[in-house]
Structure 1
Amino acid sequence: MPTLLLVRHGRSTANTAGILAGWTPGVDLDDTGRSQAAALVDRLTGVPLAQVVSSPLERCRQTLAPLVEARPELGGPTVDERFGECHYGDWTGRPLSELALDPLWRTVQDHASAAVFPGGESLRALSHRTVAAAREWDEKIAAEHGPEAVWAVCTHGDVVKAVVADALGMHLDHFQRINVEPCSVTAIRYTPQRPFVLRMGDTGDLASLRPRPAHGPTASGDAVIGGDTGDTGTP
């Protein structure tokens, strides 16, 4: 099956201000975020991409812009609202330091499956829509580009964590154990038997995510007993 690259957007002005941006319009990448987006192009050198998909929010589209410019054959990202940020409702636009004093904060931290943002959505709903989108897109990419294809989604921290929790078979209540930094890449390969989490929150070189040969360790859907050899085949 294809390999999904979940890219968290680069650092934004809201990140540096300590504000929960949510769906607030006009939240852009800061200078560091723009540098991270530019560096993503080199980090993905040698990794073929069949498709790029984006959250509709500006910070995600800005993160993908240098990559799309470097690879005009991609034709730009396809926007899918299901990969958009959590709808935080009344929490949107407020300082994180202030939100940490709200009783709901502890629920979000310790019992995420019970967390419902006032005027917004629940973390359960976030998980359901994003996992469904990831799996549906993966099937579509496989049908159109073959089982060795690689595709990327630029999205948000809580989205990445929710999709990873599902791939790991982890209860949503534990998804705060997962950390993904700005412009990090998390790689998941779905198979009929199970998903394989190949990278998590990686901010370094990604060349080994080139498609593996047919005899690679996840080709059959079985895990390698004793550990993977790391053989990525020839580019």
Structure 2
Amino acid sequence: MSTVLLVRHGRSTANAEGILAGRLPGMSLDDTGIEQARRVATQVAELPIARVVASPMERCQQTARLVAPDLEPTPETGLTECDYGTWSGAKLTDLATQELWKTVQQNPSAARFPEGESLREMHARAVDAARTWDARVTDEHGADALWMAVSHGDVIKAIIADALGLHLDLFQRLVVDPASVSIIRYTPQGPQVLGVNITGREFTSLIPKPVKDAEIPEGHAVVGGRDA
């Protein structure tokens, strides 16, 4: 199966102001976020990325175009930000005093945002979008294809948690920084998480290499560890 680079959007104006942006319009990248996205573009420049899919939110579309300027991002609503309802636009410091905040931190599978969606709903549609697109990219470009999904922190954490076999109640243990890259390869034996929250390393090692030992089934761990 193909390999997906999960890219969180660069720092937005809302991030800089400590505001929960949610799905509010006009939340674009700030100057720092633009530079962060350009840095990711440099890191992945040599990778043969076949497809870019992104949340329709402005900050994600902007990040996608900066990171992969030669590929038009396909909007995917399944990767859009969680609908935080009436929490959208509020200061995080104010939200942290509310009782629901504790649920979001300790028991997120039980959390539903007022007049918004639940984290379980977000988790389900995000995972479905990631797996559906991965299968589509594999069908169109082959099992060694690389593709990119640009999305939001909680959405990416939910996708990673699913790949790791973690219950949603544990997904807050994951950290996904702005303009970070996390990497998942979906195989017939299950997902392989190749990296989480990468912000500074080279990505050339992801360029597909010939299989050295065809006797080892696809997706199986090599005893003793891989040599590359």
TM class by smaller structure: over 0.9
How many residues align? The count is: 226
More deviation, 58-67/126-135: 58-67
Tell me, in whole angstroms, the C-alpha distance in 1 between the residues paired with 2:102 and 2:226. 38
Regions of 4+ moved over 3 Å: 215-219
Q: Quick one: structure 1 residues 64 and 126, their matched pair in 2 at CA, closer, same or farther if it must change by over 3 Å?
A: same
What does residue 37 of structure 1 align with? 37
What does residue 47 of structure 2 align with? 47
What does residue 227 of structure 1 align with? 225
- The structure 1 residue matched to 2:210, chosen from 200, 209, 213, is 213
Q: Quick one: structure 1 residues 89 and 46, their matched pair in 2 at CA, closer, same or farther if it must change by over 3 Å?
A: same
* Uncovered stretches (5+) of structure 2, i.e. residues with no partner: none
Q: TM-score, normalised by structure 2?
A: 0.95
What does residue 141 of structure 1 align with? 137
Shift of 1:216: 7.6
Shift of 1:219: 6.2
SS at match of 1:50: strand
Alignment of 1:101-120 (within 5 A): 101-120=97-116
What does residue 152 of structure 2 align with? 156
* Uncovered stretches (5+) of structure 1, i.e. residues with no partner: none
Are residue 10 (structure 1) and residue 10 (structure 2) matched? Answer: yes
Shift of 1:212: 3.4
Shift of 1:210: 1.4
More deviation, 211-220/189-198: 211-220
**Structure 2: which amino acid aligns with 1:65?**
R
Aligned alpha-carbon RMSD (Å): 1.5
Tell me, in whole angstroms, the C-alpha distance in 2 between the residues paired with 1:213 and 1:169. 29
Deviations 1:171-228 (A, max 9, x none): 1000000001100000000001110000100001222121232348996111122322
What does residue 85 of structure 2 align with? 89
Deviations 1:138-195 (A, max 9, x none): 0000100000000001100000000000000001000000001100000000001110
**Structure 2: which amino acid aligns with 1:138?**
D
Q: TM-score, normalised by structure 1?
A: 0.93
Alignment of 1:54-133 (within 5 A): 54-69=54-69, 71=70, 74=71, 76-133=72-129
Shift of 1:37: 1.1
**Structure 2: which amino acid aligns with 1:108?**
V
**Structure 2: which amino acid aligns with 1:25?**
P
**Structure 2: which amino acid aligns with 1:190?**
Y
Are residue 196 (structure 1) and residue 216 (structure 2) matched? Answer: no
**Structure 2: which amino acid aligns with 1:223?**
A
**Structure 1: which amino acid aligns with 2:203?**
L
Give the % identical residues: 52
Q: Quick one: structure 1 residues 133 and 108, their matched pair in 2 at CA, closer, same or farther if it must change by over 3 Å?
A: same
